[in-house]
Structure 1
Amino acid sequence: MRYPKRIGRLPVPGRKVKLAMAAMLLATTMAACGGDDDGDKSGAPKAPADIPTLTNDPLTLSFIWFEWPPAKALEDFANAEYKKLRPNVTVKVNTVPNANWHDAMFTQFAARKTDFDIAILDSQHIGEAVTNGNILDITDFVKKNIDTSAYNPYLLAAYGQYPQAETGQRDENAKLYGLPLLGDTWTMIYRKDLIGEKAPQTWDEMISVAAKCQADNPGVSGLAFHQANGSDAAAVTYNTVNGVYGGNLWNAKDRKIEGVLNDAAGQEAMDVLVNKMKPLTAKGSGNWFIDEVNASVAQGKACIAFQWIAASGGLLDPKQSTLGTTREQILGKLGFATLPTQKTNLVPLGGMGMHISAYSAKANQNEALNFMKWFEQADVQKKWAAAGGVPSRTDAIQSPEFLNSSPFAKVYADSVPRMRDMWNVPEYAQLVNIENTNVNAALNGAKDPKQALDEIAKEQQKVLDASRKKGGGGL
């Protein structure tokens, strides 16, 4: 993947900003769960199966995403390639800081008026948007225009289906509200010159290798990973370790978290994260997210790091790295591998889908449908891969255009069958806020690890139980 040659900066919100964000998240999610909203509770409005006549007048098709290299890559790619088909259309990808991404979309959704036509939603945002009727139901459109057999079923489910039956599966009869835009997962980045050419194969081995590397190389930390109390940073890190050590985030069928998340496997995962992994991180890394991990790797200050693949392109830029003056020299020191296994081989599902705003003008909704149909074609997906995207079509994932595009493309291809998502429910914003706060506190020594995990399970269970009483909830 050849993203724009920059690592970028993602601000980490301060305490006051976090508190304000938490209040907004609570208000927005309560609206999704019933509240006083007088909107249509029956679900999202339907898009037509056939694309209506498109306008020949100048039109700007607006997206909303967060600030990172793929956003610029998408805008450049669409304006170069989609204009060949629709010269009257200009694509604009508006961006906001990652920490504000959810609120930037859902405050406009709550007002029933958006300045964007296509919302790029995290998989976990879909339930909230569907429950409030904020995005179009594109089930009939997909049946008529998209070859669903060309995708791994779970990627279609994760980026568009609601509700989801079970992580890793897709219900062929379920409705679809979006289509894949960018696939993603974590890659393990390791210093080949410090730990050897072969990547650690198990999580325990990885920790042992990182500890030795740290001891042997003063000034270099054994590990670098996301720990921040913002976006979903700390939560994804814990959930990844939880999955690897055989834990579960919840029992989706029974909407049960307490006693599941904090069972023996969950407690072991928290102990590994806080007491074995955290001591191998750099001093002051308790609020690290994407940029800080990238900077640590680029400056040669980490033996092993974990990062989203879609955010890793800048690591190969000699202008930003102390590891070499050429891409080849950097790759002589950096290796990229799928995550180590332990009791399971699970990896976190990242990436996002495209979803059409229910409040966009009809001409723009029509254009959005046409764009989605165009974007999901095999040849376009391969071009998107070559331009810096991470495709979701199986033929594009396995194509030379993608596999040869970066040293971590094969990591993604090999990881797709191993992916596990979080909770795809309208209450997601509250659930992730609870988990981020407590995991971050445990990592920074403000809470005992067991106490933190028990509090996460207890508070998340309260959210689901309260929603059920109000008639909310997606499963």
Structure 2
Amino acid sequence: MRYAEQVPRRSRSGRKMGAAAAATLIAMTMAACSGGGGGGGGDDEAGGAAAPSTIPELTEDPLTLSFIWFEWPPAQALEDFANAEYSKERPNVTVEVNTVPNANWHDAMFTQFAARQTDFDIAVLDSQHIGEAVTNGNILDLTDFIDENIDVDAYDPYLLAAYGQYPQAETGQRDEDASLYGLPLLGDTWTMIYRKDLIGDEPPATWDEMISVARQCQEDNPGVSGLAFHQANGSDAAAVTYNTVNGVYGGELWDSDERQIEGIINDEAGQKSMDVLVNEMKPLTATGSGNWFIDEVNAAVAQGKACIAFNWIAPIGGLLDPEQSTLGDTREEILDKLGFATLPTQDTDLVPLGGMGMHVSAYAPEDRQAEALNFMRWFQQPEIQKKWAEAGGVPARTDALNSPEFLDAAPYNQVFTDSVPRMRDMWNVPEYAQLIDIENTSVNAALNGVKGPEEALDDIATEQQDVLDSSGGGL
């Protein structure tokens, strides 16, 4: 899933792409049109080059290992963590996590991929980006490397599959015969954030109950909205919200085997879900919230203006900072008012998969590809995953997810551990970027009264089906 920078704001020193980098991207796009060359090891065939099973000899010369991600607190946390901890093993290596605005994240990576030349060594890809990168040969096939260096049994099978496998398996399963192109970097899902002082200590257990409690809280507390959630037409904001409601009310996004969307996403369960979202949940949100995403939901919670909110776990740490909250002068006072829980159930217990993995650019120089592989091996060690948890990361190894280092680090970390068996992802196909844009546009239009709920969902089904039918692609 995609994200935006955390708000309330927090200073960060991570490196951003400037005007020079933007100019480079334009030049690289032009080079791509004329078949520009690559760095080390790219392959024009679908699937890309394979990484060696053993890590090549590493250089002892000074080396900068570069990531590309988007602007938000985990990016700075990764850079700080890597330079503090990886340097103990590799003192000659500096890690840079270069960032771009969330809205430019996909294009910043894939423009360079198209040019067969990247200024990053490790791309942080959304789970749904993998199909596009694999079919274009942009990232290394890590299957043999992972078999030799990584204990795959240490992970929930779906997390390992979601952040690295292609073709993607059925939700909750890993196909051991499929190739792996990445390893987990950051896990994530939605948490329900609720005002204990306004609705009580016990969170609502079902989605219908949650709506009822939010409605009553809004009536009882003028100036406080019952709900706060993502509605924006950007990234995957509005689409994830609809997909989450669709899941808990028993809907399906598509039939992956038949590549069929029309008649599935807009079936009876799908229509019920859109009706709940637009006609029951939307009226409980603040005026002007039709383009809210992570930042705005965090701000509403921190300012005491929402009874119940939904947000990704990774970017909500600032909610417990008294300097960023009006709910208390200390962390303890804030926690007297805020509770965190797994999402309510309804017809099912599904929750959205978030997070992303690390992937080695097929066009990075060989010495930096080798370093990238070494970093990934190092990062997945159990003691390093626990340290990453202490530094604010969300690990993927099962032992780390159940460790005191993770569970005691923040009051919402237990939510992630408990949510892993409930996760559902979207379409892991090369057409993902087109599909998500279609859905965002129409869900946002429905939430803002531009389209009716039924019209919006039928438009999504028709337009997404046209994309799949016209692409001629397959899994």
> What TM-score comes out, normalization by structure 2 length?
0.92
Native 8 Å contact 2:6 2:294 kept in 1: no
SS in 1 for 2:277: helix
The DSSP-based 3-state class of the residue aligned with 1:226 is: coil
Maintained 8 Å contact 1:6/1:317: no
User: Residue 405 of structure 1 aligns to a residue in which SS?
Assistant: coil
Paired position in structure 2 for 1:203:
207
Which of 221, 225, 233 is residue 225 of structure 2 equivalent to? 221
Residue of structure 2 aligned with 1:45, choices 41, 46, 49: 49
TM-superposition CA deviations, 1:244-297 (whole Å, max 9, x none): 000000000000000000000000000000000000000000000010000000
Report the counterpart of residue 421 of structure 1 in structure 2.
Answer: 425
In structure 2, the residue matched to 1:456 is: 460
CA distance, structure 2, for counterparts of residue 7 and residue 57 of structure 1: 40
Residue matched to 2:268:
264
| Distance in structure 2 (CA, Å) of the matches to 1:5 and 1:288 | 13
Letter in 1 for 2:86: Y
Separation in 2, partners of 1:5, 1:275: 29
Deviations 1:213-264 (A, max 9, x none): 0000000000000000000000000000000000000000000000000000
* Among 123, 129, 132, the residue aligned to 2:133: 129
Task: Determine if the alignment matches structure 1 residue 393 to structure 2 residue 397.
Answer: yes
1:113 aligns with 2:114: no
Q: CA deviation at 1:5?
A: 9.7
Following superposition, the deviation at residue 42 of structure 1 comes to: 3.2
Q: Deviations over 1:182-208 (max 9, x none)?
A: 000000000000000000000000000
* Alpha-carbon distance, 1:39 to partner: 6.8
What SS does structure 2 have at the residue aligned with 1:351?
strand
- Could you tell me which runs of 5 or more consecutive residues in structure 1 were left unpaired when the two chains were aligned: 11-23, 32-37
Q: Determine which of 231, 234, 251 is the counterpart of 2:235.
A: 231
1:338 counterpart letter in structure 2: T
State how far apart, in whole Å, the 1-side matches of 2:354 and 2:362 are.
25
Q: Deviations over 1:272-325 (max 9, x none)?
A: 000000000000000000100000000000000000000110100000100000
How much has 1:146 moved relative to structure 2? 0.1
Letter in 1 for 2:427: W
- State how far apart, in whole Å, the 1-side matches of 2:130 and 2:200 are: 42
**1:347 aligns to 2:351 (yes or no):** yes
Aligned to 1:158: 162
**Structure 2, unaligned runs of 5 or more:** 12-24, 33-41
Residue 338 (structure 1) aligns with: 342
What's 1:191 paired with?
195
Question: Are the aligned partners of 1:267 and 1:450 in contact in 2 as well (CA < 8 Å)?
Answer: yes
Who is 2:184 aligned against? 180
- The verdict on how the C-alpha distance between 1:303 and 1:60 changes in structure 2, with shifts beyond 3 A counting, is same
1:412 to 400, 403, 416: 416
Contact kept, 8 Å, 1:222 with 1:303, in 2: the verdict is yes
Find 1:83's aligned residue among 79, 84, 87: 87
1:54 equivalent among 54, 58, 69: 58
Does residue 365 (structure 1) correspond to residue 369 (structure 2)? The answer is yes
> How far apart are the structure 2 equivalents of 1:70 and 1:265?
36
Q: Which secondary structure state, in structure 2, belongs to the residue aligned with residue 365 of structure 1?
A: helix
User: 1:8·1:69 contact (CA, 8 Å) conserved in 2?
Assistant: no
C-alpha offsets along residues 26-53 of structure 1, whole Å, 9 cap, x if unaligned?
xx9xx9xxxxxx9723321100000000
TM-score (normalised: structure 1): 0.92
Matched with 2:96 is 92
**Matching of residue 304 in structure 1 with residue 308 in structure 2:** yes
CA RMSD in angstroms, aligned pairs only: 1.7
Code of the aligned partner of 1:333: K
Q: What secondary structure sits across from 2:454 in the alignment?
A: helix
Runs of 4+ deviating beyond 4 Å: none
Query: C-alpha distance in 2, partners of 1:348/1:86?
Result: 36
Does structure 1 retain, via aligned residues, the 8 Å contact 2:6–2:316? no
Identity of aligned residues (%): 78
Q: Taking structure 1 as reference, are residues 100 and 5 closer, same or farther at Cα in structure 2, changes over 3 Å only?
A: closer
- Which residue number in structure 1 is paired with residue 8 of structure 2? 7
- Aligned CA distance change for structure 1 residues 9 and 399 (closer, same or farther; 3 Å): closer
